[in-house]
Chains A and B, each alone.
Chain A
Amino acid sequence: MSGPTVLVLLTIALPLVIAGAALLLRDNARRPRLLPLAAGAHLALTLALLILFPTTPDPSSPSALGLDPPGAIVLLLVSVLFFFAAIYGVGYLRARHDRDNRLFVACTLAVLALLTLVATARHVGLAWVAVESTTLAGAPLIYFNRNPRSLEATWRYLVVGSIGIALALLGSFFLGYAALAPAADLGAHAVGAHDLGPAHASLLYDDLLARADTLSIPWLEASMVLLVIGYGTKMGLAPMHTWKPDAYGESPGMVGAIFAGGTASGAFLVLLRSLQVADRAGAGAFAHDALIALGLASMAVAAAFAWREPDLKRLLAWSSVEHMGLLAIGLGLGGAALFGALLHLVMNGLTKGVLFLAAANIHRAYGTSLVSADTATHLGSAASPGSPAPPGPRRLITGAIRRLPVSGTLLLLGFLAAIGSPPFGPFVSELWLLRAAFADHVAVGIAMVVLLFAVFIGMGRTILAATQGAPPPPPDLPRGPIAEASAPPEPFKDTWLTAGPIAALMALVLVLGVALPAPLARLVAAASTWLQGAP
Chain B
Amino acid sequence: MSGSLFSSLLVVVMLLNFYCIGASRLRALIRAVSLQGVVLGLMPLLVHGSATADLPVLHVVVSLVTALIKGVVIPQLLLRALRALPIKREVEPLIGTVPSLVLAALATALAIVFGQRLAPASTPGAALVVATALATVLSGFLLLVTRLKAVTQIVGYLVLENGVFVFGMLLVEAIPFFVELGILLDLVVGIFVMGILIHHIHRDFPTGQREDPS
B164 and A169 contacting across the interface, CB-CB below 8 Å: yes
Measured CB to CB, the closest approach of chain B to A18, in angstroms, equals 24
CA distance A219 to B130 in the complex (A): 11
Q: Which residue of A has the minimal Cβ distance to B129?
A: A191
A151-B214, A163-B144 as given contacts; A192 in contact with B173, CB under 8 Å: yes
B208 and A187 contacting across the interface, CB-CB below 8 Å: no
B164 and A132 contacting across the interface, CB-CB below 8 Å: no
| A139-177 with Cβ < 8 A to chain B | 139, 148, 151-152, 155-156, 158-159, 162-163, 165-166, 169-170, 172-174, 176-177
B181 and A170 contacting across the interface, CB-CB below 8 Å: no
| Bitwise interface map of B from 116 to 128 toward A, beta carbon under 8 Å scored 1, else 0 | 0110111101100
B175 and A165 contacting across the interface, CB-CB below 8 Å: no
Whether, in the assembled complex, A216 has its beta carbon less than 8 Å from a beta carbon of chain B, the answer is yes
B171 and A158 contacting across the interface, CB-CB below 8 Å: no
CA distance A11 to B182 in the complex (A): 27
Q: Which residue of A has the minimal Cβ distance to B182?
A: A169
CA distance A174 to B178 in the complex (A): 12
A218 and B123 contacting across the interface, CB-CB below 8 Å: no
A152-B210, A155-B201, A173-B168 as given contacts; A185 in contact with B120, CB under 8 Å: yes
A136-B187, A156-B204, A173-B167 as given contacts; A185 in contact with B122, CB under 8 Å: yes
The number of residue pairs between A and B whose CB atoms lie closer than 8 Å in the complex comes to 129
A128 and B174 contacting across the interface, CB-CB below 8 Å: no
Measured CB to CB, the closest approach of chain B to A176, in angstroms, equals 5
| Bitwise interface map of B from 168 to 195 toward A, beta carbon under 8 Å scored 1, else 0 | 1011011101110110110110011001
A148 and B210 contacting across the interface, CB-CB below 8 Å: yes
Point out the residue from A139, A165, A216 that lies within 8 Å of B120, measured CB to CB: A216
Measured CB to CB, the closest approach of chain A to B123, in angstroms, equals 5
| Bitwise interface map of B from 80 to 91 toward A, beta carbon under 8 Å scored 1, else 0 | 000000000000
Partner-binding segment picked from A193-201, A354-362, A523-531:
A193-201
B195 and A173 contacting across the interface, CB-CB below 8 Å: no
Whether, in the assembled complex, B2 has its beta carbon less than 8 Å from a beta carbon of chain A, the answer is yes
Whether, in the assembled complex, A184 has its beta carbon less than 8 Å from a beta carbon of chain B, the answer is yes
Whether, in the assembled complex, A203 has its beta carbon less than 8 Å from a beta carbon of chain B, the answer is yes
A155-B195, A180-B171, A203-B178 as given contacts; A185 in contact with B121, CB under 8 Å: yes
Contacts of A203 in B (CB 8 A): 175, 178
Measured CB to CB, the closest approach of chain B to A141, in angstroms, equals 14
Measured CB to CB, the closest approach of chain A to B102, in angstroms, equals 23
Contacts of B204 in A (CB 8 A): 155-156, 159
Measured CB to CB, the closest approach of chain A to B186, in angstroms, equals 11
A136-B188, A194-B173, A201-B175 as given contacts; A159 in contact with B153, CB under 8 Å: yes
CA distance A256 to B153 in the complex (A): 27
Contacts of B117 in A (CB 8 A): 218
Contacts of A139 in B (CB 8 A): 191
B157 and A163 contacting across the interface, CB-CB below 8 Å: yes
Whether, in the assembled complex, B199 has its beta carbon less than 8 Å from a beta carbon of chain A, the answer is yes
A155-B204, A190-B49, A190-B173 as given contacts; A222 in contact with B184, CB under 8 Å: no
Kindly state the interface size class of chain B when it binds its partner.
35 or more
CA distance A218 to B115 in the complex (A): 12
Q: Which residue of B has the minimal Cβ distance to A171?
A: B164
Contacts of A185 in B (CB 8 A): 120-122
CA distance A125 to B182 in the complex (A): 10
Q: Which residue of B has the minimal Cβ distance to A128?
A: B181
Contacts of A169 in B (CB 8 A): 164, 181-182, 185
Contacts of B210 in A (CB 8 A): 148, 151-152
Contacts of A177 in B (CB 8 A): 167, 170-171
A173-B164, A184-B120, A191-B126 as given contacts; A166 in contact with B205, CB under 8 Å: no
Contacts of B171 in A (CB 8 A): 173, 176-177, 180, 191
CA distance A200 to B117 in the complex (A): 23
| A176-225 with Cβ < 8 A to chain B | 176-177, 180-182, 184-188, 190-194, 200-201, 203, 216, 218-219, 222
Contacts of A159 in B (CB 8 A): 144, 153, 157, 192, 204
Whether, in the assembled complex, B160 has its beta carbon less than 8 Å from a beta carbon of chain A, the answer is yes
Whether, in the assembled complex, B213 has its beta carbon less than 8 Å from a beta carbon of chain A, the answer is yes
Measured CB to CB, the closest approach of chain A to B165, in angstroms, equals 9
A166-B164, A170-B167 as given contacts; A184 in contact with B144, CB under 8 Å: no
A187 and B122 contacting across the interface, CB-CB below 8 Å: yes
Q: Which residue of B has the minimal Cβ distance to A124?
A: B178
Contacts of A172 in B (CB 8 A): 178
Whether, in the assembled complex, B137 has its beta carbon less than 8 Å from a beta carbon of chain A, the answer is yes
Point out the residue from B49, B174, B208, B214 that lies within 8 Å of A180, measured CB to CB: B174
CA distance A187 to B120 in the complex (A): 10
Measured CB to CB, the closest approach of chain B to A381, in angstroms, equals 11
A176 and B192 contacting across the interface, CB-CB below 8 Å: no
Whether, in the assembled complex, A129 has its beta carbon less than 8 Å from a beta carbon of chain B, the answer is yes
Whether, in the assembled complex, B1 has its beta carbon less than 8 Å from a beta carbon of chain A, the answer is yes
Provide 19 A-B residue pairs closer than 8 Å at the C-beta atoms, listed in order of the A residue. Answer: A125-B178, A136-B187, A148-B213, A148-B214, A151-B201, A155-B204, A158-B188, A159-B153, A162-B188, A163-B141, A169-B164, A173-B170, A177-B170, A188-B122, A191-B1, A191-B123, A201-B175, A218-B117, A379-B208
By a beta-carbon cutoff of 8 Å, the part of chain A in contact with chain B is: 125, 128-129, 132-133, 136, 139, 148, 151-152, 155-156, 158-159, 162-163, 165-166, 169-170, 172-174, 176-177, 180-182, 184-188, 190-194, 200-201, 203, 216, 218-219, 222, 378-379
CB-based closest 9 A-B pairs: A193-B174, A190-B1, A201-B174, A185-B120, A170-B164, A379-B208, A162-B188, A148-B210, A201-B175
Given A166-B160, A191-B1, 11 further pairs, Cβ under 8 A: A125-B178, A125-B181, A158-B191, A159-B157, A163-B144, A176-B171, A180-B174, A184-B126, A191-B173, A192-B173, A194-B174
